[in-house]
Structure formats: structure tokens, C-alpha cells
Amino acid sequence: MFRNPNIWADLSYLARSWMATARVISRNLRQYKFEPEVAFLKDILKPQDVCLHIGASDGRHSLVMARLAAHGHVYCFEPSGYSFGILQRVLAFHGLRNVSCFHVAIMDDFHDVELVVPVKTSGRLGHSFGQVAEDKNAATSFPDIQSEDMVTESVQATTLDAFCERNGIDRVDFLRCDVEGAEYKVLNGGKRTIDRDLPNVLIEIHPHALERNFNSSKEEVFNFFTSRGYEAYCLKEGRPQRVDSVVDEPWRDYFFLHPSRQIRFQ
């Protein structure tokens, strides 16, 4: 079904989506342009692990997680309709059967939310930069990229706790979270699950978007984990190193490892 009365606009949308899919698959096949943290997932994930990928985007982390947890399962969540189509096609191409995808936003309540996605100066959608914002006007600036416009999409939201309960997920071993500023919303809606399982975590923290869009802070996210006994790491000189705070950058990935899982980077 076409999304827009203008058939040519819809054809252009589909063409861009398929081209983006082909670009992601090509990069996967060439092992090209994976984020540097991906190299260390092999030290964390085990074959039987149950993993959650919140903000799955085009599925590049999902692919690696599914291969490392080959006898476990990966649950992927992506609120953007554009990205969700790419995610499904990419994972289907790679023949992954231990992955389930859900077109939903993970937050701390159940009301519909607005997803704001930048339009790059090249004309392509910045699908990996989509932000959920309580005030969509506050999310019109994207300091990470050059953009000249934005599109919005209304998306159904649920919580991590509710999803796990509804789907009978009684164990979570690993959580990847990349939600462009909604980090604390995700964590707040998943407290029961996280307290129950103490999964290892790779989370992208966005200090500016946290404050601008949700009146939250990088300290709030960091303290969520450290108050539960987690140890924090981020890459320095190409290796994960212990840290005791979040740097004030537009974004950075952090590993939070719980000592009870006895994981150490090789």
C-alpha cells in the first residue's frame, strides 16, 4: 500500500529504502564500517544468550548478536517505519532464524510517541538518527549531522517490562540500546527485568538529547547502572577501559558489565 497519494513520491520512498537495504547488506558482506564496539561483543555474548536490541535501526548490531548467540534469541525493536523495513530485509537476506523484529518504541509508558527523523542535506533520511521526543519542536536540531528538514511519525510505545512479561521472556542476558536520548525512558520502563537478570549492556548515551528532549541527564543513566553494581567501560585507544563518568559529547557508547556475570574483555 502506498503511503502517499503521490505515486511518484511513494516510488521514490521505496527506491531509497531498497537502496539503503542494499548498502547495508554490501557493508555486512564486506565486514565494512561496523562500529568499533562490535569487535568486543565476542567477549560478552555466549551461544545460548537471550538478547534485546532496542533501537535496532538497520540491524547491523542485530546481525552480529544473532551470530554470536546462535542458539539463543535476539529481539529487535525499531520505531521508524523506514528503518524497520530495512531491518527486516537485511536480517532476512542473511537467513537469521533466531531473530524477531517488532515495529514499536520502547519507553516507560504506553502512549503513542512522535518519532522525529532528520532529512540530510543529501536528501536521504537520517534513519539511524531518529529521535523520540516529548516535544517534537525541541528535537529539530541534530548536532551530530547536517540536516535541512525533518519528518515525523506517530509510533506505538510499550515498556521493556511489559514486553518481556507478555512474551514470556524469563531471561535477558544482553541489552543493546541506541535510542538517541530516550535512554532513561527505556531503563525506567525495564527496571524489573534489569533487576531480575542484571544483563550486560552496551548503550549509546546522548547527553544533549537526554537533557533537551526528556529533562534527564547523562548522570542519571550512568547512576542507574552503577547503583546496581555495574562497572562502566568505554573505548579509549581502541580498547575498553574502566570509566567513572560520562563524557560531555553528542554521544558515545558505553559497556556496563555486571560482576555477577564474570565477563572480562580479552
Rounded-to-integer distance, Cα 57 and Cα 94, Å: 16
> At 147, which amino acid appears?
S
Q: Cell 547491523 belongs to which residue?
A: 60
> Which grid cell is 257?
558489565
**Among 30-39, 71-80, 140-149, which stretch is predicted with the lowest mean pLDDT?**
140-149
Q: Span 157-161, mean pLDDT?
A: 98
Give me the pLDDT at residue 25, please: 97
Q: Span 218-245, mean pLDDT?
A: 97
Whether pLDDT at 259 is above 80: yes
Q: In a 3-state reduction of DSSP, which class is residue 53?
A: strand
Burial class (CB in 10 A: 0-12, 13-18, 19+), 39: middle
The size of the chain, in residues, is 266
Q: How many angstroms separate the Cα of 11 from the Cα of each of 2, 18, 80, 186?
A: 8, 11, 18, 34
Q: Cell 519528518 belongs to which residue?
A: 151
Give me the pLDDT at residue 148, please: 56
Whether pLDDT at 192 is above 90: yes
Rounded-to-integer distance, Cα 257 and Cα 266, Å: 14
Q: Span 123-145, mean pLDDT?
A: 59
Q: Span 232-240, mean pLDDT?
A: 96
Burial class (CB in 10 A: 0-12, 13-18, 19+), 220: middle
6 or 153: which leads in pLDDT: 153
Q: To 10 degrees, the CA torsion angle through 118, 80, 35, 148?
A: -10
Q: Domains along the chain?
A: 34-261 (3.40.50.150)
Give me the pLDDT at residue 132, please: 76
In eight-state DSSP terms, residue 189 is T
Q: How many angstroms separate the Cα of 245 from the Cα of each of 186, 241, 249?
A: 20, 12, 12
Q: Cell 537502496 belongs to which residue?
A: 19
